[in-house]
Amino acid sequence: MAKDTRPEIAIIGGGQLGLMIAEEAHNLGARVAVLDPSADAPAFAAADRHVVGQYDDIKALEKLCDGCDVVTYEFENVPGEVLRHIESRYNIKQGVQPLFDSQDRLREKANARIHGLKTPGFIPVPALDFMTPEDGGESIPGNPEYPVPMTADDAASLDRRERLHQIKEAVRVLGMPCVLKTRTMGYDGHGQYVIREEKDLEPASDLLAVPCILEKFVDFDYEASVVMVSDGEKTIHFPIGRNIHTDGILDLCVVPAPGLSDGLAENVAGKKIAAACEAFMKSCGYKGILAIELFIKGDDFYFNEMAPRPHNSGHYTIEGCSASQYRELCHFLLGMPLEDPLLLAPTVMKNILGKDLDAAKEIVAESLEGAGPGVSVSDPDDVDNAFCGQAGPGVFVHLYGKIQSRPKRKMGHITFTPMTLSDFNVKWADRFV
């Protein structure tokens, strides 16, 4: 039997991002190995081999990476010390620094400022500067710009009175409205509390059992994201998406972004944002893929957070662009030249959460009724949770194959192209109410 000489990509994380990386890797002639703690991880369906293991299991990670040409990740919260060990033995081409920087919101925000991006005002909390006088601290912060943060152990030891004092002092420095966020492990609105008035202080203080960051609230006009890929020499970015969230979870991504575009191209404001994000990536020395989420307020824009992996808002690139975020990432991983992605038409991407799954299946079933020999789907219940395909002209459905559905769990997405936001609201929005 001839030896398989195809390059192999190891992916740490087996969710929908890993699934779509794997599919594109296969399109480019590569093999894929995937690690995930869940035995029914979506990406396993597209993997040539897989490993069931925890993200901090060194032996499982070594089993994944042994024999692979390159390693990537689709999940931010892999322990940094574990990745450092893996990096010392295997080819993590992106490096682990962008992952490390993105794992802590305090480090992430400070890094953004250092490398030229404006952020909302922020301070760490709980902080040593905010200790009560009877605990040996100062009632007035010694350094309002950047108090000394407490360790995780110190934060865990605070009682309710101390936590309330901490949040009151931090809010006094930063002012209201503001947003308290856990420094690690937060996503899709989890681990956050908006503080608008005094009555919000006590419930918000419950978060302070772990290290947090308090950020000045930005009364933004809208949110946007820039997805980039760099090989260290060339950096490309995809058309900027305008993001619409519901309950802290991305609902729609609209491209070209209204307010940042002129036809299919970026306007002056859009070009300014893209240039600033590319300059940030270059200044940091990051390679691979990086997504930056932004708050847009008038002519100003503020860094919100970043992700060194394919981004939810970039799903539209599969059908909406000449090359997708997954293709460009795989080009980087496999040492292939980066392409300059072009927007093919106005596009709207709709996230399909568990609460939207029935509606998505109805759209698929309607499109396949009477489609011809071999097509038996006529009822939404017959549509598989892993369906991926076209469901009518310009309607592309991607269901991720997740077995368990929950109302706010991401189960898939639908890309509508060509489609404007106004046309989507007229033709499709009511289907997902």
Binding-site residues from annotation for ATP = 105, 181, 186-192, 215-218, 223, 245, 304-305
Neighbours of 282 (CB within 10 A): 15
Task: Kindly compute the dihedral angle of the four CA atoms of residues 289, 293, 297, 302, in this order, to the nearest 10 degrees.
Answer: -80
Residues whose CB is less than 8 angstroms from the CB of residue 341 and which lie 6 or more positions away in sequence, other chains included? 236, 238, 239, 317, 321, 322, 323, 324, 328
b/e per residue 16-25 (b: at least 16 CB within 10 A):
bbbbbbbbbb
33 contacts 10 by C-beta, under 8 angstroms: yes
CA atoms within 13 A on the CB side of 101: 24
**In angstroms, how far is the first alpha carbon of the chain from the final one?**
55
> Angle at Cα 293 formed by Cα 289 and Cα 295, nearest 5°?
160
DSSP secondary structure string for all residues of 345-405: S-EEEEEEEGGGHHHHHHHHHHHHTT--TT----SGGGS-TT-EEE-STTEEEEE---SS-
Residues annotated within the binding site are 105, 181, 186-192, 215-218, 223, 245, 304-305
User: Among all chains, which residue has been given the structure tokens 């869940």?
Assistant: 38
Closest CA to 418 of 259, 242, 254: 254
Encoded amino acid at 114, one letter: I
Dihedrals φ, ψ of 361, to 5°?
Answer: -70, -35
